[in-house]
Structures are given as structure tokens and as C-alpha cells.
Amino acid sequence: MNIALIYTSHLSLFVSLIRSSYADMLHDTDRNEKYYSGIRAAVRRVKDRGQEAIVLDIGTGTGLLSMMAMSAGADYCYAIEVFKPMADVARKIVEKNGFAKKIKIINKHSTEVTVGPEGDLLCRANILVTELFDTELIGEGALPSYEHAHRYLVQEGCEAVPHRATVYAQLVESKQMWAWNKLLPVPVRLGCGDVREVVPPPDMQACAGCPTVYDIQLSQVSRSHFKALTHVTEMFRVEFSKAVSSASAQHTVQVPATASGQAQVVLSWWDMDMDPEGSIKCTMAPHWAHPSPDNIQWRDHWMQCVYFLATESTVQKGDRLHLTATHDDYCVWYKLQDSSDKQETEGWAQQPYCSCQAHLMCNRQRFGQLNDQMRNEAYIEALKTVVKPHSVCLSISDGSLLSVFTCLLGAAQVFSLESSALSKQVMEKILAANRLAGKVTISEKRPEQLTSKDLANQQVSVLIGEPFFTTSLLPWHNLYFWYARTALARQLSPDVTVMPCSATLVLMAVEFRDLWRIRAPSGMCQGFDISLMDEMVQNSLDFRESQETEPQPLWEYPCRALSDPLRSLTFDFRREVPVESLRSEGSVPLLRTGSCHGVVLWMDYQLTDDIAVSTGLTRPPTDTGDCTWSPHCKQGVYFLSSESQRETAASCCSIHYTVTFHPGTGKLAVEFKPVW
């Protein structure tokens, strides 16, 4: 069996797109109402000029905005949708709502659309309606699409909905967020007061980091986890009713430092005015910057941005700072300089990039995990109980510090398996920076390829892992460690110590505050029947995939436990992977009332008899069911059907579960049903 093939995960493009944002957008009442108000106002302005209202809707999706335009009195609408399955559904939705004669669905990319007697559009439009935006505003190619539309598809001086967008930024110091950016020094308590510090290599310390934005639900970051160093500042605007350029541009704003500290992170979001007067505004601001913080519209398709400065710098309260936002046609990045910096702004346009390779291997969550001192201490204390001066240790995890810790704890020999040449190079640099080069032998062979020669003709007495593998998506995908342990059986001593010694799949029924909306049926939206979206998923050949467990970082999505955590399946790493399937069946009693939106699944690892780490809850739920989740892991979420959710709110007393692990494929099959 080639264990490298275990746990490959695939979601079809079709189901992926359906699951990504459509349901969330359709349930975004604030967005929909603001768009409807903006479209009505734009149509009215055109009509007041005595003109026909010809609308161009780029990226129509379900056709919702086009139908809004027709209901607002537009004369005709051209609706462009490049994704064919979505265009087909939009055509049916438009027909079902009685607009087939007034809305033309065009299945092309907008840059391929032509105007003229033989073209896709008979004439240029005088109202441009779009929803081409992502969390970063421009990341879905909004600027090139607008640039082309103004040149070839719409009239000069056309009305645009939205009319403009404004990007805001705030400079902060945040130990928590900075730990998402790069490897930081890790103290290792060796005993008897002896402390060694594992330091990152110089190129990692100096690296500008990953250029991509980190989009998160910023309202879920506690205010105690960052210090604001400036006020929220307007960085730049994009006027959509005028010619738009996709060329790179930079915008520098002078801001006073409102506090002293380490400038590390830029928090950013945007809002959009649906009309020229700015009276119809839709904002993505987090709660502390929101005009109505007690009435924020929850949304997941547009969140907030975290940008890391290339280097941290000290600022003093009252300093005059120059914050620069630079963007190309798809990305935004930031740079800071103070008033004493004479560098020419023209030199700031270069996008930061990773020069140390670590950011190509580790994502934000992984850096947070590696920098989590409580987690590191749990592993170090566990290693102290299993590593002896004569130990021959083998570490199996991607980019893990366990081999470094093991070496510092005095093991006779330490070997490490890395899954790629990249992770091997990164780990070799970390070892060299800590004067441990040559003390850990790193191989990028697959476990089944490892021979006794690779282990200096010795048998492994201590096998260790976090476990963590970069290809894992769901919590149980890291059971790859178990398969690796099995493939290595001939290289392990008869009395080998395996750490962790076991893993347990834990599940818990929950009620989400908001996350349930991303899987809620479309039904009616702003008075239009969008239920064909639901049929689209139901009739999909991949519908089974749309019902299976999906990864979600639940620290960003508050929920309430309706049951206690239940340990369903245990995997004994001291033994080899069995041939027969592992199965667990039973009931999860619901202890609290509410709508059971789904079941959360995660893995707990027993490092030793006394030390465990969790990829799920960091502490038991409170009496009211409030949950605190590990911020460095994604948990698995199985959403119940909407009908089941309604039933659990009424009279359900438990959730019946069946969990089956199939060793031949590495897949975990789960089934949950309400019980009355």
C-alpha cells in the first residue's frame, strides 16, 4: 500500500463553488438591501434624465442583482456569468421569476463580451452593477474587469452600483498575530534551571514573509490581543462610475502614532457606497470600528484583512508615521516608515515575498502552532518522560520542532522524516542556527522506503510525532502517522515507545451563532425565488460530498455546545493499523435546548499516560455551553439538514451517530440523525 496516497482530498469545482459563498451572500440581508437600494436609486437617476435604463451585471451568479434591476424599472439587463453551471441555473431562476424576456444571461468572461448588432450586447449599458469583490476588495480581479467594462461595455459617465469603495487600515502591535507570521524563539526548559532557546535562522528572522493576505473574522480577535498604534485611517478609494485602472498604484498617508509600541501588523477592511451621495453604505468594519456595533451583519464571504509588515519597528506616541498601501491588479500590501526615513516612496512598490522558504511550507495556523508555548511545553514535558540518553529517536511530522527538542534533551541519536525537499531544507537551516547540524539526520524518504541503513543499522526505540502533515485538511487526516508507524514496523524495536501513544476522535453537538447560514437553503431572497440553487446542489452528482464533514476554524465562529464532548473512536498507535474497519455507534445526549446545526469532530492525542493535547476544545464548555477552540487547528463540522435542525429545536433529545474508519482508504464515514 502506498501510504502517500492516503488522505488525498478532492472537492469538485462545482460543489466547491456552491459551498464557498453563494448561500452566505444570499443570506446577507444587509448586502442585499443595500444593493437593492443602490440599484433603485441608479435606475431612478437614469430615468430622470429621460433615458432608457440598460443594465450590465458582471458576475451575476444567481441573477439576483439583475432581477433587482428589472424590479426597479430597468428596461433591459445583460447578465454575465463565466461559470457555466451557474449561468445555467441563473437562466432558470430568471425564467422562474418572470424576467426571461428582459434579462439576457451571457455565459462568458466579461472581457470576452462584445457590443454591436452581431455582439452579445446591442449597445453599451448606462448602469453597471457588479459584485466582483473579496475580503481584500480587489482579489477576484475587480480592477481588470472594471477597466475593460469602462473601455468597451458601458457608456462614459455611467451609473455604477456600488458607486465607490474605500479601504481603511489601522496599525497595531499584536503578539498573537505576529506569531502567525514567522517562527519566533522557543524556550526549552531542560531541567535544573537550564533553559535553551531554539532560535529561527537569520534568513527567517529577516524574511518579509508571505505576501498573501490573512482573511479572518476580525471581530473574534479579543481587543486584549492587540494594541492600536494609530486611529483607523482611510488609505485609498476606487470610483467605479469612472474609468478604472488595473495598473499598480500606491497610496501614502501620514498618521500620528496614538500609542508607543512595536508596529507589526496592519488590520484592514473596506466599505462601499452604493450611491454618489454616500447615503447607502455597506461596511465590513469589525465591531470596534463599526458605526452600529450592536447590529453588525454577519458575513463570511467578506471578512477583514491582516497584513504583516516586512519587519517590526518601534514607534513612540506622537511620531509622524507614513503608512503606504501598494496594490497591483489583485493584491494589496503595506509598508511603514517614520518621518526620519528618507527612502524614496517609488522604491516601496515591490511586493514582499518569502526568501526563507518557511512560508512556502507553513501557513498562518502552523506558525501559530509552532509558536504556542503552552503546546510546546506539553510536548517537551512528554518527551522528557520517554527520551533517555541511549534512545534512538525517529520523528515523523512535517516541519516539526520535535526532533530539535529531542536532540536538546540528550537522545543518543535523532532521525527525522520530512515529506518534501523543501521541509528538509527548512529544518536543516533551523538545526544549523541552533548548532545542531549533524546531530539530527533528516531524510525525505517515505516511511515504507526507509531501511536499516538509513537508521545507521539501528532500531528505533522512540517514535515521535505531533502528528502534523501539510497535506491534511480534516483532523483525522493526520492519522497518516499511524500508517507511517505501521510501514516502519521492521525498523522499530520490539519495545518501542510511541508518542503520542493514541488518538481519540471526539464529537459534540453544537448550535452555531452564525456559521449555519453558509449551508442554509436559499429559498426566497429579497422577494425573489432562488430555490433553484438548492435544487442545483440536490441534483448534483457530487451531492454526497456536500453533506460530508468539512474543515472550519471554529475559534472564528462562536457556537454553543448542546452536548458534552463524546469520545467515539480511539486509535492505538502502539499497534499497527488493523485490517478490519473500526466502528463506533451510539447516541449523543442533548443537555441544552437550541437548534442543533451540526456536529463538531476533532482529535485528542494522548502523548503519555498523563499528558494530552487537543485539536479541538482548549477547555470544557461552560455551564451555558460556550466553547473555546484551539486557534491553530481546523475542526471538522458536519452540518445537519435544515429539516433536522428544525426538529432538534422542537423535541430532539439526542443525536444518533455512526462513525466508521476504513483502514484500506484512510477515510472516515460519519452519519448523524436526530432521535426523539
The residues annotated with a catalytic role in the active site are: 131, 140
- Provide the 8-state DSSP code for 21: I
Of 226, 231, 430, 247, nearest in space to 308 by CA: 226
Taking the C-alpha atoms of residue 179 and residue 368, their distance in angstroms, rounded to an integer, is 5
Largest CA distance in the chain: 90
Q: Are 277 and 326 in contact (CB under 8 A)?
A: no
Q: Are 80 and 145 in contact (CB under 8 A)?
A: no
Taking the C-alpha atoms of residue 596 and residue 659, their distance in angstroms, rounded to an integer, is 18
Cβ partners under 8 Å of residue 141, min gap 6:
132, 329, 330
Taking the C-alpha atoms of residue 429 and residue 437, their distance in angstroms, rounded to an integer, is 8
- Paired with 263 in beta bridges are 313
- Paired with 218 in beta bridges are none
Which amino acid is residue 594, in one-letter code?
A: G
Q: Residue 617, by phi and psi: left (phi above 0), alpha (psi -120 to 50) or beta?
A: beta
Which amino acid is residue 608, in one-letter code?
A: T
- Provide the 8-state DSSP code for 294: G
Q: Are 252 and 346 in contact (CB under 8 A)?
A: no
Q: Are 14 and 291 in contact (CB under 8 A)?
A: no
Taking the C-alpha atoms of residue 420 and residue 151, their distance in angstroms, rounded to an integer, is 47
**E strands in 465-581:** 492-499, 502-512, 524-525, 528-529, 550-552, 559-561, 566-572
- Provide the 8-state DSSP code for 24: H
Backbone angles phi, psi at 458, to 5 degrees: -120, 160
**E strands in 192-339:** 194-198, 214-216, 227-228, 233-239, 249-256, 261-273, 281-283, 304-315, 320-327, 332-338
Measured over the CA atoms of residue 535, residue 541, residue 546 and residue 547, the dihedral's sign is positive
DSSP characters over 513-546? SSGGGGGS---EETTEE-THHHHHHHT-TTHHHH
Of 155, 137, 495, nearest in space to 283 by CA: 137
Taking the C-alpha atoms of residue 251 and residue 155, their distance in angstroms, rounded to an integer, is 28
Residue whose C-alpha cell is 455582439:
119
Three-state DSSP at 213 gives coil
Three-state DSSP at 113 gives coil
